[in-house]
Structure 1
Amino acid sequence: MSGGGTEVVPLDLARMFLGDFSPLFLAEIALRTVLIFGWLLLLLRWMGKRGLAQLSPLELAIVIGLGSAAGDPMFYPEVPLAHAMLVLALVVGMQRLLAWLVIRSEVVETFVEGAPVELVRDGVMSLAALERSNLSREDLFERLRVAGVRQLGEVQRAYFEQDGNLSVFVCPQDAPPGLPVVPPWDLEPPPLVTGKGCESLACLGCGTVRRGEGQLPSPCPHCGGTAWTPATTDPLGGGAGRGGESRLGLGGALGGSPGTAPG
């Protein structure tokens, strides 16, 4: 029996492929598929790289589109096979077209895939870039800790990549002091400096390091913050100084390869 109470005739090829619709209805399905796929792609781009994890907007749109189009005709006799086959072919065709355009057009690639965002330069965070990437300071610190970073002075560059991963380039030699990212601040907040006596201070807002010079350099010249903590070369003690580059995503490290920061 079908959902409307009408008896279903098994192996009725006309019903299986076209249902009770006019063949012209296939043109409407094609238009609906193109519009919904484009709207889905726009929404996924608006959702941002953090929400997409390790899938690009185009890849996630393909997964959603193919899954939705392939599921219903497998179970519901009211859904004609020709309609689902047309939707599947259109989704794959649009993916092939967009992939071709991405290779040949920088504008299309930036729109579909996004662009890398520099989050840290020479131990100082870009608060505007973090906000634009929909990341909090704690999100950045978590990813840096997974990469083995203990304090921001070790980081020459950190890029939030198009696929939602973080690429970290650290100092190849002994790192200058910086804002500690370990232990996690939720477990052990960094001490606030309220008086004199610290040689190097790190801004709690962006990580800018300034010498104490007998007084607190408030406000921070980079972000305007007024909270400072002692800058350190190794908050956990022991030797510091590493070289290399690593890439990690929301789930953890994805591997690493040697490298140095660009000039």
Structure 2
Amino acid sequence: MSATEVVPFDWHRMFIGDAPWLFLLEIVFRTLLMYGWLLLLLRIVGRRGLAQLSIVEFAIVIALGSAVGDAPFYPDVPLLHAMLVVAVVVFLQWGLAQLINRSEKVETFMEGRPTLVVDGGRVNLQGLKDVSLSSEELFERLRLAGVTQLGEVRFAFVEQGGNLSIFRFEARSVRLGLPIVPPQDLVDSDALENEARADDPHACTNCGDVEASRPAGPCPRCGQRRWIPAKVDAFEDA
């Protein structure tokens, strides 16, 4: 419909349009299908980047934004159709919330489980793979929480909402670990290696595995070959 054909405040066009009433049922079907498809895709992609929103909450933000955004601007989109889409999405969200509250299986399927990414000062490589997070991104999040070396961290979990929760060792129990402060991009690992003795404890720069002396070959946990001296205090000798 062109701008010249639009009759302002044509109530029939604004609320109903020219489609038959049965088309309203098709709108319900379309909304259910697209919302379900959106949830499935978000579940496959995972929690990365969702910040504090759950997958279901993120989906409803997208769905409502699309439904509400079109109606005010396009004269050929009847308001009744947009209102029906919004109502279906809201009630669908309410129904999913009830299912999630009543069923642990539904909650796990929709929102996943917390994922262990650091265990006893070492990176849980499978956990990182499960949440599509790299070691460098994990180290960045740990630095933002004030962690200077991996041996400080007893456990770290990527929660259902994508946030990182960290549980530290007590001060007297802190272990030797991979220094992550300063970031490895700013560290001359070759210079550190030249200053260290071969019989000093060394940490793998990828997974944080600590060996009593500098290994001659790759890391037994992840296969990487870069090692730097392990420390209890990341700022020692800095």
Long gaps (5+) in structure 2? none
Aligned 8 A contact 1:210 1:217 in 2: no
Give the direction of change, closer, same or farther, for the CA distance of 1:34–1:189 in structure 2 (3 Å limit).
farther
Shift of 1:4: 6.9
Inter-CA distance 27–232: structure 2 relative to 1 (3 Å threshold)? same
- Distance (whole Å) between structure 2 residues aligned to residue 20 and residue 37 of structure 1: 25
Deviation at 1:205, TM superposition (A): 2.7
Provide, for residues 161-188 of structure 1, a one-character-per-residue CA deviation record: whole Å limited to 9, x for no partner.
Answer: 1111000111112311111001011111
Matched residue, 1:180: 179
| C-alpha deviation, 1:196, in angstroms | 5.0
Query: Who is 2:231 aligned against?
Result: 232
Which residue of structure 2 lines up, in the alignment, with residue 249 of structure 1? none
1:220 shift after superposition = 3.2
- What is the match of residue 26 of structure 1? 24
Q: Scaled by the length of structure 1, what TM-score is found? A: 0.82
Give distance in 2, aligned partners of 1:207 and 1:47. 27
Check conservation: 2:6, 2:75, Cα contact below 8 A.
no
Larger mean Cα displacement after TM superposition, 30-39 or 191-200: 191-200
Q: Secondary structure at the match of 1:74?
A: coil
AA aligned to 1:237 is: E
- Which secondary structure state, in structure 1, belongs to the residue aligned with residue 71 of structure 2? helix
1:195-245 C-alpha deviation (Å, 9 max, x unpaired): 854332212231112212xx636443333444322110112139xxxxxxx
In the alignment, what sits opposite 2:212? 211
Cα deviation code 1:112-137 (max 9, x no counterpart) = 11211100101110122212211111
Match of 1:164 in 2: 162
RMSD: 2.1
> Shift of the alpha carbon at 1:72?
1.7
CA distance in 1, matches of 2:43, 2:22: 33
Q: How far is the alpha carbon of 1:194 from its aligned partner?
A: 10
Bigger fraction of residues in strand: 1
Q: Is the 8 A contact 1:196 1:216 kept in 2?
A: no
Asked if the contact 1:198–1:230 (Cα under 8 Å) also holds between the matched residues in 2, the reply is no
Task: Work out whether residues 193 and 227 of structure 1, in 8 Å CA contact, stay in contact via their aligned partners in 2.
Answer: no
Structure 1 runs not aligned, ≥5 long = 239-263
- Secondary structure in structure 1 of the residue aligned to 2:44: helix
1:5-84 residue pairs with structure 2 within 5 A? Answer: 5-8=4-7, 10-84=8-82
SS in 2 for 1:186: helix
Q: Is the 2:31–2:88 contact (alpha carbons within 8 Å) kept by the matching residues of 1?
A: yes
SS in 2 for 1:51: coil
Letter in 2 for 1:83: H
**SS class of match (2:107):** helix
Which residue pairs with 1:246 in the alignment?
none
How many residue pairs end up in the alignment? 234
8 Å Cα contact 1:151/1:234 also seen in 2: yes
Q: Which structure carries more helix by proportion?
A: 2
Q: Distance in 2 between matches of 1:95 and 1:19?
A: 27
Q: Which moved more, 1:216-225 or 1:136-145?
A: 216-225
Aligned counterparts of 2:47 and 2:195: Cα–Cα separation in 1: 39
Q: Structure 1 residue 5: deviation in Å?
A: 4.5
